[in-house]
């Protein structure tokens, strides 16, 4: 038997050098969203064009978290590979026919932990997708239950770029957190140079866990209480049904992600990606907007001490606060509260854009009772409000002139 070729040994050394890479701490919204969903023990589905690094990201994630990686290409398996193969025993009439799991599931159970990567999910035919339902939701393969230490991540290509692709069935799609995976030019260049972003699990603050759970429940329940139609909305298009959409199951997933994101203190961009990837863009954006308003100051606290009020910097949030203050005065009209609201309007003009005060100040003026004297602070508003109104009227005239010119 001949010895191995020296040139192959040199080639192996060269391959080893090419494979030797390092990592660096680098903000990456996609990786942060992926690792937080993995920490929350939710199935994740990465959507992206072929060749942009979905498989490489999962390989790097498994290596960094020290999880054995098990890759299963869904499109080349039969439904029985996920639902189990029937094995006839000695007395099937008495003991039944058990469903034997595949070898990869047995290895995961023996290891007690791991990362199960379901690749090419969008090329799996409907029969295989149906068999995957129990695996993704209940973590069962045949008669075997995967241990809690196993996380599930899948990858799929859009139907337009998938080989013989299928749309995901609505029941299967509704079991995943959908993340759109794109390439970052700088990350690719740095990675090809030998340095990739470092993958780390989110750091959860133990002292924040109860408050994070309470905040998440209040956010989701508060939105759905006022918008009951958002509880369940099955999209009308086939493509929409194969992506994220709101259901009681996906709202529960969103609630869990908000709790984890709050306890970890992740950025709004990461939370937005996760929420929209769970219940869809429209409901997700509504949830994020309602969460912004949850942190707004209490109108009663502002009326109690308008001089010390801290108003939001964002214009839409500041407008919402001022409108809420006026509504609070309307609900309980008292002279002292009316005066305090005017003081708050002055404070808003001095610390922000004056045009935001025009509507709430006009409404507040209509709440005056006959025996209430006009507070001197209103004079400090007159100039700003008048200037804003003149600017609005000028804008209308300019727009009208432009229309006539056409």
Question: 190-204, 321-335, 362-376 — which one is most confidently predicted on average?
Answer: 321-335
Residue 102's pLDDT is what?
86
Does the structure show a pLDDT above 70 at 403?
no
DSSP-derived secondary structure letter, 307: G
Q: What is the C-alpha to C-alpha distance for residues 174 and 191, in angstroms, rounded to an integer?
A: 33
47: enclosing H helix or E strand? strand 44-47
The helix/strand/coil state of 86 is strand
Q: What is the C-alpha to C-alpha distance for residues 248 and 233, in angstroms, rounded to an integer?
A: 10
Residue 356's pLDDT is what?
86
Q: 353-369: per-residue pLDDT in tens?
A: 888 888 888 888 888 88
Q: 101-118: per-residue pLDDT in tens?
A: 888 999 999 999 999 999
What backbone torsions phi and psi does residue 92 show, to the nearest 5 degrees? Answer: -65, -25
Residue 59's pLDDT is what?
85
Residue 1's pLDDT is what?
47
Residue 119, beta-bridge partner list = 73
Residue 72, beta-bridge partner list = 118
Averaged pLDDT, 294-310: 86
From the number of C-beta atoms within 10 Å of its C-beta (0-12, 13-18, 19+), residue 81 rates as buried
Tokens linked to 400: 């009208």
* CA dist 77 → 46, 163, 232, 395 (Å): 20, 15, 32, 64
Tokens linked to 115: 């990362």
Q: 55-72: per-residue pLDDT in tens?
A: 888 888 888 888 999 999
Q: 379-395: per-residue pLDDT in tens?
A: 767 665 554 454 445 44
pLDDT band for position 397 (cuts 50, 70, 90):
low
By DSSP bridging, strand 140-141 and strand 113-119 are: unpaired
User: What are the residues whose beta carbons fall under 8 Å from the beta carbon of 229, sequence distance 6 or more?
Assistant: none
User: What are the residues whose beta carbons fall under 8 Å from the beta carbon of 253, sequence distance 6 or more?
Assistant: 42, 177, 278
User: What are the residues whose beta carbons fall under 8 Å from the beta carbon of 40, sequence distance 6 or more?
Assistant: 256, 257, 260
Does the structure show a pLDDT above 70 at 164?
no
């Amino acid at each position: 038997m001949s010895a191995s070729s020296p040139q192959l040994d040199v080639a192996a050394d060269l391959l080893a050098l090419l494979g030797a890479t390092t990592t660096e701490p680098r903000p990456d919204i996609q990786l942060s969203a992926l690792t937080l969903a993995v920490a929350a023990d939710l199935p994740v589905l990465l959507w992206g064009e072929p060749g942009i690094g979905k498989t490489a990201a999962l390989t790097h994630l498994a290596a960094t978290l020290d999880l054995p990686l098990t890759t299963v290409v869904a499109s080349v398996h039969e439904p029985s590979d996920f639902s189990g193969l029937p094995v006839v025993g000695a007395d099937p009439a008495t003991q039944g026919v058990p469903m034997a799991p595949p070898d990869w599931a047995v290895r995961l159970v023996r290891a007690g932990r791991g990362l199960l990567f379901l690749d090419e999910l969008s090329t799996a035919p409907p029969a295989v997708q149906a068999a995957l339902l129990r695996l993704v939701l209940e973590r069962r393969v045949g008669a075997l239950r995967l241990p809690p230490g196993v996380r599930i991540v899948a990858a799929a290509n859009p139907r337009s770029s998938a080989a013989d692709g299928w749309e995901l069935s609505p029941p299967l799609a509704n079991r995943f957190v959908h993340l759109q995976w794109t390439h970052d030019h700088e990350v690719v260049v740095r990675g090809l140079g030998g340095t990739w972003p470092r993958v780390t699990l989110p750091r959860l603050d133990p002292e924040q866990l109860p408050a994070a759970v309470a905040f998440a429940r209040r956010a989701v329940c508060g939105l759905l209480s006022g918008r009951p139609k958002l509880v369940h909305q099955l999209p009308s298009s086939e493509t929409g049904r194969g992506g994220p959409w709101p259901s009681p199951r996906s709202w529960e997933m969103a609630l869990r992600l908000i709790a984890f994101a709050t306890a970890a203190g992740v950025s709004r961009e990461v939370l937005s990606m996760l929420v929209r990837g769970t219940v869809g863009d429209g409901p997700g954006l509504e949830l994020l907007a309602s969460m912004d308003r949850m942190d707004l100051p209490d109108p009663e606290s502002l009326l109690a001490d308008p001089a010390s009020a801290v108003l939001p910097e964002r214009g839409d949030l500041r407008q919402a606060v001022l409108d809420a203050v006026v509504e609070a005065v309307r609900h309980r009209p008292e002279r002292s509260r009316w005066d305090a609201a005017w003081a708050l309007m002055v404070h808003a003009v001095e610390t922000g854009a004056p045009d935001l005060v025009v509507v709430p100040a006009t409404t507040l003026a209509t709440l005056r009772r006959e025996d209430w004297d006009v507070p001197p602070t209103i004079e400090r508003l007159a100039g700003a409000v008048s200037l804003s109104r003149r600017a609005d009227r000028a804008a209308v005239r300019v727009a009208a002139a432009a229309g006539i010119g056409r």
